[in-house]
Chain A
Amino acid sequence: MRLEIVLLVVLMALVTYVPRMLPSFIIGKIKIGKKTEKFLRLIPYTAMAALIFPGILNSVGDKAYYGLAGGAVAALLAYFKCPVVVCVIAAVAVDYILVMLP
């Protein structure tokens, strides 16, 4: 194991861990108003939207429609109240079939 890599790993671990851990010590110390609370409640939705697009377009192989097809299946199943695991497995299955198709 090279020292250079160990040093890189240690420093990366540090700059990754600190932003993850720090907010837990700030919360509770600051009073949050109604507007800010609503803002924080909206973030999961907007963050997930941004995590899905455009990443999903490059998620499977080199064709954007693979990702879109898998995503559409997951969305449809989620709409009809399927558990998340089922959405994931069905999306993978559909994409597996698409990838296997000649």
Chain B
Amino acid sequence: MSNKNGIGAEMLYGAKAAIPIVLGFIPVGIAYAIMAKGAGLNALETVLMSVCVFAGASEMMAVEMYKQGAVLVAIVLATFMMNLRHVIMSTCIFEKTERLGVFKRLFLGFFVTDESFAVITSEKKRCSFWFFASLGVTHYLAWVAGTAIGALAANMLPKSLSASLGISLYAMFIGLIVPGIKRNLRLLALVVGTAALNTLLSVFIQPSYSLIVSTLAGAFVGVFFVDLDGDKNADGKTRSSEIGDNLPAETEEAV
């Protein structure tokens, strides 16, 4: 789809794909800002961290460690370890993105998150620069906006609403993964097995490590018993219901 559609259509498609993430990032941003306030950061510092770091789980962990008086080096090291999972995700994302120049890659690299990974790798086709950029910037702005709302007006959202919005990122992951697994029993078994492994492992080791271990272990096991190629055809049909997947056809007509 990279060259067929115009830049505007690609950007619109990317922003649309980001809507579920936006719904999730606003409340998580608020939750982070409340934690940061509790750790003694002022509003400007709280927002600055979101603007520069753009990693929800790491930011929450960092302000918690700061509150407990951890030394700076320890916080930075913990952040690094926590974000190592992005090496794996980034590899998958850039495998699925059109070939790009150095500066475009440097720019897009900033927008590699669990959520952009989930959306991009669930796309049927290769992603264009403008799709990725628009998805990236949209969910980045939502994260910064959520943080700013939390830092300046934490009680703007009613508690029951912000609590229930906590499900949104998980619902998005589920919405993205189900079409791919519903006609492939072995892949479903692999997904269930990996979820079980991660649930078990995270009791014993840090969640960020157990995520890496179970992701890699699951995919490794899957290489030997899941049949992905046989699934491809059935998959093509089921995937067509995904967000915006019918958009390229529409926009092609429009263009």
Contacts and interface: CB of A to CB of B under 8 A. Distances in A.
Interface of A: 1-2, 4-13, 15-17, 19-28, 35, 38-56, 59-61, 66-67, 70-71, 73-75, 77-79, 81-85, 87-93, 95-96, 98-100
A91 B171 contact: yes
10 closest Cβ contacts across the A-B interface? Answer: A21-B109, A46-B218, A81-B241, A78-B178, A87-B175, A91-B171, A70-B167, A44-B121, A53-B195, A84-B175
A98 B161 CA distance: 11
A20 B238 CA distance: 30
B110 A92 contact: no
Contacts of B194: 45-46, 49-50
Contacts of B77: 15
A13 B219 contact: no
10 contacts: A12-B59, A27-B94, A43-B219, A45-B190, A75-B174, A85-B23, A85-B243, A87-B20, A92-B171, A98-B164
Given A4-B72, A27-B94, A51 B173 contact: yes
A70 B167 CA distance: 7
Contact of B171 (A43, A74, A98): A74
B170 A81 contact: no
Contacts of B141: none
Contact of A9 (B49, B92, B108, B117): B49
A50 B218 contact: yes
Contacts of A6: 45, 48
A59 to B, nearest CB: 4
A50 B109 CA distance: 22
A49 B198 contact: yes
A46 B81 CA distance: 20
B75 A45 contact: no
Interface of B: 19-20, 23-24, 41-42, 44-45, 48-49, 52-55, 58-59, 62, 66, 72, 75-77, 79-80, 83-92, 94-95, 99-100, 105-106, 108-112, 114, 117-118, 121-122, 160-161, 163-182, 187, 190-192, 194-199, 202, 207, 210-211, 214-220, 222-223, 226, 228, 238, 241-244
Contacts of A89: 23
Given A12-B76, A20-B110, A45 B172 contact: no
B214 to A, nearest CB: 5
Contact of B76 (A15, A51, A92): A15
A71 B52 contact: no
Contacts of A10: 52
Nearest to B59: A12
A82 to B, nearest CB: 7
Contact of A38 (B72, B170, B192, B223): B223
B86, B95, B163, B175 — which one has the most chain A CB atoms within 10 A of its CB? B175
B20 A16 contact: no
Nearest to B113: A20
Contact of A24 (B45, B90, B160, B182): B90
B171 A9 contact: no
A20 B179 contact: no
